[in-house]
C-alpha cells in the first residue's frame, strides 16, 4: 500500500479565446510539482462522432458532460497529490461542478481577460483547429465581462507577456486571491 499524500490544488484557468490560457497553463504546470495540465479542448476532441461546437447553444448538454468528466479527472489527480491546471473556456455557470467535485480541495478560479481588441486580435491569429471567427469570440468575451463578485479573479493580461502573467497568477494563488469558497 502506498503512503498517503497531501491533496493537490486545482487551478481553473479560464477566459475567452485568445486570452493566453493554454500558454500560461503550460507555464504554470511547469512551475508546480508534481503537476498536471488538463487542456479542456482535448476533452472535447475525445468525442469522435456527434460533437457540437461548444460555443453553440445546442451544445449545452454536451458541455455539461465534458465539464463533469473534466472536473472528475482534475480532482482525481489532485487526490493523488498533483497540482492540476485546468485550461479552457469555463464560465462561472460551471463553477458549481468544480465546487461540488472539489469539496475539501483548494480550488482557484483565474480569469485571463485582456481588453476585447487584444483578445480578438490574438484569437483570429491562432493556428488551424482553433476558433478564429470574430462573432463567437466576441460573444465569449462578453460572457467573461461584468463578473460581479468574481471580478477579483480577473487578471488583465493585455500588457503582460506569458511569463509575467504566470508570475502574477502564481502570486495571486499564493495570497489566496483566486480561491473559491466551498459551496
132: three-class secondary structure by DSSP: coil
Three cell numbers written together for 173: 494563488
**Domain map (residue ranges) of the chain:** 10-175
Confidence of residue 134 (pLDDT cuts 50, 70, 90): confident
- Average of pLDDT values for 117-130? 85
Architecture label for domain 10-175: 3-Layer(aba) Sandwich (3.40)
Q: Does 70 have pLDDT greater than 60?
A: yes
**DSSP bridge partners of 50:** none
- Buried-state track 84-109, b at ≥16 Cβ within 10 A, e below 16: bbbbbbbbbebbebbbebbeebbbbb
Mean pLDDT of the residues in the chain: 94
Portion of the chain with pLDDT greater than 70, in percent: 98
What are 74-92's pLDDT values in tens digits? 999 999 999 999 999 999 9
Helices (H), 37-115: 40-45, 60-79, 95-101
Q: Does 126 have pLDDT greater than 90?
A: no
> So what's the pLDDT on residue 2?
67
Tell me the C-alpha distance between 50 and 53, whole Å.
10
Give how far Cα 41 sits from Cα of 13, 47, 53, 148, Å: 13, 11, 11, 27
In 3D space, the residue among 173, 161, 130, 172 whose CA is nearest the CA of residue 39 turns out to be 130
- Average of pLDDT values for 100-119? 95
Q: Which residue has the higher pLDDT, 95 or 127?
A: 95
Q: Does 1 have pLDDT greater than 60?
A: no
What are 6-23's pLDDT values in tens digits? 999 999 999 999 999 999
| Predicted TM-score of the model (pTM) | 0.94
Strands 154-155, 107-112: pairing is parallel
> So what's the pLDDT on residue 183?
63
What are 35-66's pLDDT values in tens digits? 999 999 999 999 999 999 999 999 999 999 99
Confidence of residue 26 (pLDDT cuts 50, 70, 90): very high
Give how far Cα 16 sits from Cα of 28, 29, 74, Å: 18, 20, 21
Amino acid at each position: 500500500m502506498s503512503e498517503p499524500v497531501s491533496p493537490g490544488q486545482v487551478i481553473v484557468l479560464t477566459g475567452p479565446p485568445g486570452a493566453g490560457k493554454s500558454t500560461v497553463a503550460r507555464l504554470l504546470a511547469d512551475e508546480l510539482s508534481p503537476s498536471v495540465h488538463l487542456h479542456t479542448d482535448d476533452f472535447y476532441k475525445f468525442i469522435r462522432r456527434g460533437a457540437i461546437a461548444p460555443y453553440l447553444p445546442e451544445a449545452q448538454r454536451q458541455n455539461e458532460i465534458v465539464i463533469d468528466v473534466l472536473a472528475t479527472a482534475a480532482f482525481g489527480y489532485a487526490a493523488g497529490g498533483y497540482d492540476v491546471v485546468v485550461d479552457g473556456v469555463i464560465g462561472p455557470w460551471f463553477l458549481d461542478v468544480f465546487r461540488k467535485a472539489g469539496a475539501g480541495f483548494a480550488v482557484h478560479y483565474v480569469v485571463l481577460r485582456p481588453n476585447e481588441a487584444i483578445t480578438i486580435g490574438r484569437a483570429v491569429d491562432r493556428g488551424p483547429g482553433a476558433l478564429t471567427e470574430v462573432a463567437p469570440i466576441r460573444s465569449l468575451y462578453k460572457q467573461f465581462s461584468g463578473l460581479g463578485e468574481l471580478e477579483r479573479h480577473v487578471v488583465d493580461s493585455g500588457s503582460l507577456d506569458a511569463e509575467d502573467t504566470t508570475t502574477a497568477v502564481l502570486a495571486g494563488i499564493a495570497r489566496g486571491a483566486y480561491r473559491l469558497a466551498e459551496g
